[in-house]
Structure 1
Amino acid sequence: MSEEERTLVDKSESSSFEDLAAAAAHEIEEAKIAEAAATASEREKEKHPEAPATVDGWQDLLGSGAILKKIVKAGDEADGSRPQRSDICRISYEVKIRDHDAVFEKRDQVKIYLGDNEILQGLDLALKLMYKGEICLLQIAPRFAYGDTGLHPGDSLGLIGEVDGPLYEGPVIGPETWVEARLELHDWAEEPEHETLPIAERMEIGTRRRARGNWWYRRGEAQLAVQLYRRALDVLDESEGGITEPTPSGELAPTSDDLQALLEERLRVHNNMAAAQLKAGAYEAALQAVTRVLSCQPQNAKALFRQSRILSAMGRPADALRAARAAAAAAPQDGGVRRELARCEQAASRDRSLERRLARRMLGTAAPDPPGGKPSRTKILVWGSLLLSLLVGVASVLVYRYKVQSH
């Protein structure tokens, strides 16, 4: 990620159909994983009631060996209920590198929204198969832990609810590094209707989701970032009688300080989601997100910068140049904006030069070929015609002289 992109990721109502489809596919995949794991476990018990369903006490949750689970304390299975996606789970957990003793991430009695990837994906998936009060150990493959990016000393841990949390201080976690976790599910509750929550609580939830989305974005996980930003918008959305649309002049209508802060946070999320969607190649969705920001803040330099990048990616250089110029006017000292403007101007200059060359060729007024270069088709035709005319003339003279001599 370039430096300007890194510095511009802090500041998208519903996303486009392509985003919603991606989210639905993700939810379906997770549901199938959890259902398949639970069903396989029950069938195994029915077929072999005397045989252990685990190997050395470890249960293969996904059937691929990517997440292994060992129960330390059984939970309450009386009603057979387990938490579902979007439920608010109260958990405690600690994470360490497998076969190491040092714990580098630990949280006690923390609340998370299941399925939002506020914790490592391996922990999130395991919670769907746990009962109230259960404690288990997990061995998690890199794919469901820190992925190909890994974790390096000085990297943010992206802890839940902390915008500026602690940094990682352990050894390098590479793309092949497994982690081990101890996870306890205390209890859970259904997510309440957002409209029933106080503005301050909605603000807190939206901010923590944006912060976690930024963490995934910096790790190159654009789709996971979009998912968090979308969930942040769910809780930051307008409330009746609250946030209003901008006036015809582009200025926001007066509103309370709390609602104004909620609006500004929502615009920051839209702005960040545009960056993530651009990175994921969802250009139409990204343009929609950034347009929402500019409809309320026409001089938002970050939104204009991203609009320029999006339009360039969509093959609209003239529109991209206009956006870059507007961004430069709004933030003349921003190095990233200046570089984007220079890039757009160079692209526009190349396009104009190409158009002039094409026009000259069409009109037959192209400049002479450089020394040593191959003659153009037009020149070949011209010289061919002249040579043919000369030959015809010479032939005519010879015929005439022959006739004169004959007489």
Structure 2
Amino acid sequence: MSEGQGTLVDKSESSSFEDLASAAAQEIEEAKLAEAAAAEKEKPAEAKTDEWQDVLGSGTLLKKILKAGDESDGLRPHRSDICRISYEVKIRDTGDLVEKRDQVKIYLGDNEVLQGLDLALTLMYKGEECLLQMSPRFGYGDTGLKPGESLGLVGEVDSPKYKGPAISPDTWLEARLELHDWAEEPEHETLPIAERMETGTRRRARGNWWYGRGEAQLAVQLYRRALDVLDESEGGITDPTASGELAPTSGDLQALLEERLRVHNNMAAAQLKAGAYEAALQAVTRVLTCQPNNAKALYRKSRILTAMGRNSEALAAARAAAAAAPDDAGTKKELQRCEQKANRDRSVERRLAKRMLGTTDQPKGASSPDKKPSRTKMLVWGSFLLSLLVGVASVLVYRYKMQAH
């Protein structure tokens, strides 16, 4: 269970802020890609394969066509299309191989491959092969990649580890990319449940990879796409599929539900890390509606509520998480942290109450310069001064009488 902590500023409402940010960035990139596509169409065929094209106009993603594709119909793949591709990624300056895939299926725009490859595919025709130079932003980013870390390859149950030299935040990559063909994404309701499970699981796994690299917003995008295909709806889940297969059994439905809840749980962690607290709370609430004793969801609910400043509710969630998973070190630590915070809060409240009532504890012998004398002490000192004045007056009267005689 992750210990992600955010600042006490909620960046989300019912739909999280990262959707707006990513949508704006996507619109900008798509506009630049459209301009690049239009400019490329105007070039003569021989020029297209003889020069590097600055795809985004910033020098961060360069493309050179090695083999022209079929431009007869003028069609290119769009976001969410299923592309069948082959690619090879190397470190530009050394030529060391990073990863290589042949005839792999990806959903365009889902960040299932490096972002540079994802963007370049929108400018390619069927059968086209090109060479790319990608800045770190479109490769492994500021995190880089170290030997032994997962490559997060989509479709791989146990993704292989990287075996090459360390990739720093300044490392440029070079990729050879070929687009074999593509097809439109089918309606989810028409898919067999096994295919829906496979697609949802691969998106969740890729989202987990981005989350582990600190890319919470990219992770949320993958989790949302996973829910698109996993959420129950009319059609393929309860009715016979388009291929004529039998409707899934109750066991299949239960497996789909559990996978969907795993995605909601993971998305809550990513939204918490991104500071989208309201959206994260909604995600864990969906999990707990179906599984009230889900320890991971209760743990994350406690973390979310703490970030929102709702400490008493966070303590209740932490206690429930510890009860659901008494042997888990993460839930124990979370409960201890919430109890310590609750004790500090109670201590502060008691001190404030004493100050308001004027009953602040003072050590023996200590005096406060701002504290007024009590009524009893004032009476004692008044009586003493009065007696002293009476005695002085009596002495003066006695001396006057003696002088008169």
| TM-score (ref. length: structure 2) | 0.84
In the TM superposition, what whole-angstrom CA distance separates every residue of 1:299-356 from its partner, at most 9, and x where no partner exists? 1010001011001101011101111111111100000111001000100110111111
**Secondary structure in 2 matching 1:147:** coil
Residues 95, 105 of structure 1: 8 Å contact kept: yes
1:177 maps to 2:174: no
In the TM superposition, what whole-angstrom CA distance separates every residue of 1:184-231 from its partner, at most 9, and x where no partner exists? 011111110000000000000000000000000000000000000000
Structure 2 equivalent of residue 348 of structure 1: 342
Q: Following superposition of structure 1 onto structure 2, how do residues 211-290 of structure 1 map, counting pairs within 5 Å?
A: 211-240=205-234, 256-290=250-284
Cα deviation for residue 79 of structure 1 reads: 2.2
User: 1:153 and 1:17, CA in 2 relative to 1: closer, same or farther beyond 3 A?
Assistant: closer
User: 1:188 and 1:353, CA in 2 relative to 1: closer, same or farther beyond 3 A?
Assistant: same
Cα deviation for residue 29 of structure 1 reads: 3.0
User: 1:323 and 1:242, CA in 2 relative to 1: closer, same or farther beyond 3 A?
Assistant: farther
In the TM superposition, what whole-angstrom CA distance separates every residue of 1:77-124 from its partner, at most 9, and x where no partner exists? 222211111011111001011122332211111111000000000110
Cα deviation for residue 42 of structure 1 reads: 5.8
**Secondary structure in 2 matching 1:85:** coil
Which of residues 284, 287, 292 is equivalent to 1:293? 287
User: 1:404 and 1:234, CA in 2 relative to 1: closer, same or farther beyond 3 A?
Assistant: same
Structure 1 equivalent of residue 159 of structure 2: 165
Structure 1 equivalent of residue 318 of structure 2: 324
Q: One-letter code of the match for 2:232?
A: E
Residues 29, 56 of structure 2: 8 Å contact kept: no
Distance 2:37 2:88 in 1: 24
1:125 maps to 2:122: no
**Secondary structure in 2 matching 1:148:** coil
Cα deviation for residue 75 of structure 1 reads: 1.2
Cα deviation for residue 31 of structure 1 reads: 1.6
Distance 1:50 1:123 in 2: 23
**Secondary structure in 1 matching 2:292:** coil
Choose 290-299 or 102-111, whichever is displaced more: 102-111
Q: One-letter code of the match for 1:5?
A: S
Residues 147, 175 of structure 1: 8 Å contact kept: yes
For this pair of structures, how many residues does the alignment match? Answer: 379
Structure 2 equivalent of residue 31 of structure 1: 30
Residues 242, 259 of structure 1: 8 Å contact kept: no
In the TM superposition, what whole-angstrom CA distance separates every residue of 1:214-259 from its partner, at most 9, and x where no partner exists? 0000000000000000000000010338989xxxxxxxxxx71111
**Secondary structure in 2 matching 1:162:** coil
1:5 maps to 2:29: no
Structure 2 equivalent of residue 97 of structure 1: 91
1:380 maps to 2:370: yes
Residues 73, 135 of structure 1: 8 Å contact kept: yes
Residues 6, 218 of structure 1: 8 Å contact kept: no
Cα deviation for residue 35 of structure 1 reads: 1.8
Distance 2:275 2:349 in 1: 29
1:203 maps to 2:177: no
RMSD: 3.3
Residues 16, 278 of structure 2: 8 Å contact kept: no
Distance 1:243 1:110 in 2: 27
Distance 2:45 2:65 in 1: 18
Residues 156, 167 of structure 1: 8 Å contact kept: yes
Distance 2:257 2:307 in 1: 28
Percent identical residues: 71
Residues 265, 287 of structure 2: 8 Å contact kept: yes
In the TM superposition, what whole-angstrom CA distance separates every residue of 1:161-201 from its partner, at most 9, and x where no partner exists? 11311000100001001111000011111110000000000
Distance 2:66 2:92 in 1: 17
Gaps of 5+ in 2: 5-13, 239-248, 401-405
Which of residues 127, 132, 140 is equivalent to 1:146? 140
Gaps of 5+ in 1: 8-14, 245-254
| TM-score (ref. length: structure 1) | 0.84
Distance 1:123 1:111 in 2: 13
User: 1:370 and 1:276, CA in 2 relative to 1: closer, same or farther beyond 3 A?
Assistant: farther
Choose 227-236 or 61-70, whichever is displaced more: 61-70
